[in-house]
């Protein structure tokens, strides 16, 4: 796994799964506790070979395809780019499509008008068919440009293959206006209802200003990247990196420059085990309904034992009342005793069968949504709070090192534990939209695994918050279990 | 502002010399890029008999950019909102420098004859136009009588 494609929740950067595994299992051949097989990274459901490219590397990649087409079809780079843009940068498709039927290929590429089977379609003419029309094409004495209504004696006029002739001044003004509107490779002929494209060579041969030239190159490059199925811009604001993957899958990309974490396929925040469509529905729904939800979920709760008002100050859902020392679960307000050892089930939504009339149904629907939304929100909050825990851990490590109890390296495991906790809780957060939309079929298994994961995460969080009094071996064991549960859930339910 | 382009002068001259039936477009005395437009409601449409005032402005980039046109007279139409803004493709992405003031105004007149509730600008109007066309047409006629037939 590529280091840059992995989490780096701590500021030190290069934390990756490989490091994690090799650090805890130096031999690399440890036995999987559950199925007795050797743990192989090839089975990792989140594995995704994504490359991080600079602008120059992207240019080289695109140019390779352009050169291949130019070479094979003996055409100009400008037209090759146009063909590739329209055919999703599939070199083979361009070459075979062109060779199969030149006229219809050029028509679908919007280089010639459909139904025009004239000699213009011959490849030998492709190179210069857009050069300014010479005097013999346009009778210069009688030609009046239909746009500026000026006679153009001595001025050059030109047309695309559609033969809609306009003077160069008008073309130039037109292309500059279109570039200012953000267009580049999609600029069409000036004539009404003519959709032939003014391709790169034509646009840049016109006497447009240097500013517009640069803008054109900028916009067209953007269009090329956007149309390439293997390339994605980083979603981070002002981040110019481009990512390349062999296939557009809904997998995790971590930007090494701006640390954005996003889904390669849809560009939203990484959302395993939920799929792209579901997360979009969920986020839209939350944007619409969350006001109601916020209204329902207050920021404080009363201790179920002594009724004193309690504010949640850490990520862990295992609460201990500071007054009466009662241990309870923040989610269900039940006694924690039943959570730690036995079956953890407050992540499970119980469908109520008494839905007699419409309003009861609506109430039930809202209750169902709130159930999932509350948990989704709660884990998001926990993630934030655990960031603070991480800060505290760093402070404590500094103190300890200063006081001579252990070296900095001795305490690294705490940072690793915090990073792992963040990763697990993140996945747990995204299991709730999945559960909200899933059908009954495999719901029991999913909710069982979700509950298992949740229990282990709360355990881990509890142990990290009390790291001083927790045995290191115990904590590391807990880390291993939590990550195992996370991976198992993803393996079973994350389909890309 | 720079000198008036030949294209605008030619178009204005032609609009005056050969006006389009049912449409008058007169440039403002102080601004040759601003036109006072009156479109008569097309026959056999709910707007028949009405005189609709519009304003038309030719931006600096004209004809590379589309003219800006707006209804001043209130009109009950699914593609025209209450501020008089018009939803018409040739005023937006389908604009071509080969189009003219004349063709734009003809298209607007045609839009009055053939409302398109599937591409609405005024949502409530379009909604009614789809579920109860006869009531929508009644409203359009009433608005025409009320706002477009004074004097």
B chain contacts of residue A196, beta-carbon cutoff 8 Å: none
Cα separation, B140 vs B151, whole angstroms: 19
For residue B4, the chain A residue with the least C-alpha distance is A148
Q: Is B97 on the interface with A (CB under 8 A)?
A: yes
Residue among A316, A329, A346, A424 flagged as catalytic: A316
pLDDT band at A128 (very low <50, low <70, confident <90, very high): very low
Mutation target to probe the A interface, by most A beta carbons within 10 A, among B2, B64, B67, B90 is B64
pLDDT band at A334 (very low <50, low <70, confident <90, very high): confident
Cα separation, A10 vs A415, whole angstroms: 7
Query: Which among B94, B97, B99 has CB closest to A170?
Result: B97
Q: How much of chain A, in percent, has pLDDT values that exceed 90?
A: 23
Tell if the CB–CB gap between A192 and B61 is shorter than 8 Å: no
User: A219 vs chain B: nearest CA distance in angstroms?
Assistant: 18
Q: Is B5 on the interface with A (CB under 8 A)?
A: yes
Cα separation, A496 vs B143, whole angstroms: 56
Q: Is B60 on the interface with A (CB under 8 A)?
A: no
The pLDDT assigned to A356 comes to 44
**pLDDT tens track for A148-161:** 888 766 667 888 88
DSSP string for chain B = -PPPPHHHHHHHHHHHHSPPTTEEEEE-SS-TTEEEEEEEPPTTSTTTT-EEEEEEE--TTTTSSPPEEEE-S---BTTB-TT-BB--GGGTTT--TT--HHHHHHHHHHHHHS--TTS-SSHHHHHHHHH-HHHHHHHHHHHHHHHS---
Kindly tell me if the per-residue pLDDT of A15 is higher than 50.
no
**Annotated catalytic residue B89:** no
The pLDDT assigned to A178 comes to 92
The pLDDT assigned to A470 comes to 72
Of the listed ranges A39-48, A327-336, B78-87, the least confidently predicted one is A39-48
pLDDT band at A290 (very low <50, low <70, confident <90, very high): low
Kindly tell me if the per-residue pLDDT of A146 is higher than 90.
no
User: B58 vs chain A: nearest CA distance in angstroms?
Assistant: 14
Backbone angles phi, psi at A112, to 5 degrees: -125, 160
The stretches of A319-357 forming alpha helices (DSSP H) are 337-340
pLDDT band at A300 (very low <50, low <70, confident <90, very high): low
Kindly tell me if the per-residue pLDDT of A162 is higher than 60.
yes
Tell if the CB–CB gap between A147 and B97 is shorter than 8 Å: yes
> Nearest Cα to A76, choosing from A148, A119, A5, A131?
A131
Beta bridge partner(s), residue B37: B25, B54
> Nearest Cα to A354, choosing from A344, A342, A363?
A363
Region A40-66 average pLDDT? 82
Region A281-303 average pLDDT? 66
Cα separation, A418 vs A464, whole angstroms: 7
Mutation target to probe the A interface, by most A beta carbons within 10 A, among B98, B102, B107 is B98
Question: What is the DSSP code (8-state) at residue A151?
Answer: B
Tell if the CB–CB gap between A173 and B65 is shorter than 8 Å: no
Kindly tell me if the per-residue pLDDT of A307 is higher than 80.
no
Beta bridge partner(s), residue A52: A243
Of the listed ranges A143-147, A359-363, A476-480, the least confidently predicted one is A359-363
The pLDDT assigned to B121 comes to 76
Q: Are A397 and A411 in contact (CB under 8 A)?
A: yes
What does the CA dihedral A163, A167, A168, A170 come to, rounded to 10 degrees?
Answer: -110
Q: Are A137 and A131 in contact (CB under 8 A)?
A: no
B chain contacts of residue A194, beta-carbon cutoff 8 Å: 96
Task: Give ipTM to 2 decimals.
Answer: 0.86
pLDDT band at B8 (very low <50, low <70, confident <90, very high): very high
The pLDDT assigned to A116 comes to 62
Tell if the CB–CB gap between B10 and A173 is shorter than 8 Å: no
Contacts of B10 (CB under 8 A, 6+ apart): A149
**Six token digits for residue A435:** 């559960």
The pLDDT assigned to A8 comes to 40
A chain contacts of residue B98, beta-carbon cutoff 8 Å: 146-147, 164, 190-192
Kindly tell me if the per-residue pLDDT of A43 is higher than 90.
no
Q: Is B6 on the interface with A (CB under 8 A)?
A: yes
Kindly tell me if the per-residue pLDDT of A28 is higher than 50.
no
DSSP string for A415-453 = HHHHHHHHHHHHHHHHHHHHHHH--STTHHHHHHHHHHH
The pLDDT assigned to A493 comes to 85
The pLDDT assigned to B97 comes to 94
**Six token digits for residue A446:** 């999913």
B chain contacts of residue A191, beta-carbon cutoff 8 Å: 96, 98
Cα separation, B126 vs B139, whole angstroms: 12
pLDDT band at A298 (very low <50, low <70, confident <90, very high): very low
Tell if the CB–CB gap between A147 and B7 is shorter than 8 Å: yes
Query: Which among B6, B65, B96 has CB closest to A150?
Result: B6
* Pairing state between β B23-27 and B34-40: antiparallel
**pLDDT tens track for A336-395:** 777 655 556 666 665 554 434 555 666 677 778 888 988 999 999 999 988 888 888 888
Distance of CA A131 to the CA centre of its chain: 42
Helix pair angle (A358-402, A412-437), 10° resolution: 170
**pLDDT tens track for A204-251:** 988 999 999 999 999 999 999 989 999 999 988 888 889 988 888 888
**Between A and B, how many CB-CB pairs are < 8 A?**
38
**Six token digits for residue A16:** 């990756």
The pLDDT mean for chain A works out to: 78
- Taking an 8 Å Cβ-Cβ cutoff, which residues of chain A contact chain B? 146-150, 164, 166, 170, 173-174, 176-178, 190-194
Tell if the CB–CB gap between A191 and B96 is shorter than 8 Å: yes
Tell if the CB–CB gap between B98 and A150 is shorter than 8 Å: no
What does the CA dihedral A2, A3, A4, A10 come to, rounded to 10 degrees?
Answer: 150
**Peptide bond connecting A370 to the previous residue in cis, omega within 30 degrees of 0:** no
The pLDDT assigned to B113 comes to 92
Cα separation, A163 vs A159, whole angstroms: 5
pLDDT band at A66 (very low <50, low <70, confident <90, very high): very high
Contacts of A261 (CB under 8 A, 6+ apart): A7, A252, A253, A254, A255, A269, A270
The pLDDT assigned to A325 comes to 80
Residue among B58, B86, B87, B105 flagged as catalytic: B87
CA triplet B15, B21, B23: central angle to 5 degrees?
65
Tell if the CB–CB gap between A149 and B99 is shorter than 8 Å: no
C-beta neighbour count of A128 within 10 angstroms: 9
């Amino acid at each position: 796994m590529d280091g840059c494609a992995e989490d780096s929740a701590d500021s030190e950067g290069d934390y990756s799964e490989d490091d994690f595994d090799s650090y805890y299992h130096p031999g690399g051949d440890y036995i999987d506790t559950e199925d007795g097989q050797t743990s192989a990274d090839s089975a990792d459901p989140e594995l995704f070979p994504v490359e991080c490219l600079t602008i120059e590397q992207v240019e080289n990649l695109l140019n390779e395809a352009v050169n291949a087409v130019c070479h094979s079809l003996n055409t100009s780079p400008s037209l090759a780019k146009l063909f590739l843009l329209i055919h999703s940068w599939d070199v083979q498709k361009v070459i075979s499509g062109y060779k199969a039927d030149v006229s219809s290929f050029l028509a679908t590429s919007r280089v010639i008008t459909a139904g025009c089977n004239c000699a213009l379609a011959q490849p030998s003419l492709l190179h210069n068919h857009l050069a300014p029309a010479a005097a013999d094409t346009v009778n210069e004495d009688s030609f009046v440009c239909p746009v500026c209504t000026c006679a153009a004696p001595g001025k050059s006029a030109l047309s695309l293959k559609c033969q809609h002739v306009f003077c160069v001044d008008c073309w130039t003004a037109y292309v500059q206006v279109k570039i200012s509107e953000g267009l580049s490779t999609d600029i069409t002929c000036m004539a009404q209802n003519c959709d032939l494209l003014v391709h790169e060579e034509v646009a840049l041969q016109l006497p447009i200003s240097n500013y517009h030239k640069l803008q054109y190159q900028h916009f067209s490059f953007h269009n090329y990247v956007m149309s390439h199925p293997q390339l994605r811009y980083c979603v981070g604001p002002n981040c110019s990196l481009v990512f390349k993957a062999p296939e557009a899958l809904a997998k995790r990309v971590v930007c090494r420059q701006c640390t954005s974490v996003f889904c390669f396929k849809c560009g939203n925040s990484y959302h395993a085990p939920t799929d792209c469509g579901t997360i979009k529905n969920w986020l839209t729904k939350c944007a619409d309904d969350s006001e109601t939800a916020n209204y329902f979920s207050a920021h404080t709760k009363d201790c179920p034992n002594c009724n004193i008002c309690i504010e949640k100050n850490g990520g862990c859902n295992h609460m201990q009342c500071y007054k009466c020392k009662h241990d309870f679960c923040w989610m269900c307000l039940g006694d924690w005793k039943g959570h730690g050892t036995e079956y953890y089930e407050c992540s499970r939504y119980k469908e109520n069968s008494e839905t007699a009339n419409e309003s009861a149904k609506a109430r039930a629907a809202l209750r169902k949504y709130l159930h999932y939304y509350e948990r989704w929100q709660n884990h998001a909050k926990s993630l934030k709070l655990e960031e603070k825990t991480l800060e505290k851990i760093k402070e404590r490590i500094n103190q300890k090192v200063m006081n001579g109890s252990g070296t900095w390296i001795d305490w690294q495991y705490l940072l690793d534990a915090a990073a792992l906790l963040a990763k697990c809780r993140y996945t747990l957060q995204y299991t709730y939209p999945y559960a909200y939309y899933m059908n009954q079929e495999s719901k029991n298994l999913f909710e069982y695994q979700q509950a298992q994961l949740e229990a282990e995460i709360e355990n881990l969080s509890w142990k990290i918050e009390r790291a001083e009094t927790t045995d290191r071996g115990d904590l590391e064991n807990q880390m291993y279990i939590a990550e195992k549960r996370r991976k198992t859930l993803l393996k079973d339910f994350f389909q890309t | 502002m720079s000198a008036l382009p030949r294209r605008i002068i030619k178009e204005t001259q032609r609009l005056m010399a050969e006006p389009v039936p049912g449409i008058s477009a007169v440039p403002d005395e102080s601004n040759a890029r601003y036109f006072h437009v009156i479109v008569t409601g097309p026959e056999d449409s709910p707007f028949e008999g009405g005189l609709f005032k519009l304003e038309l402005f030719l931006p600096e980039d004209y004809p590379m950019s589309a003219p800006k046109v707006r209804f001043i007279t209130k009109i009950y139409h699914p593609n025209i909102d209450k501020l008089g803004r018009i939803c018409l493709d040739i005023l937006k992405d389908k604009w071509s420098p080969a189009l003219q003031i004349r063709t734009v105004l003809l298209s607007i007149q045609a839009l009055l004859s053939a409302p398109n509730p599937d591409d609405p600008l005024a949502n409530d109007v379009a909604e009614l136009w789809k579920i109860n066309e006869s009531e929508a047409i009644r409203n359009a006629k009433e608005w025409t009588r009320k706002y477009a037939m004074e004097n």
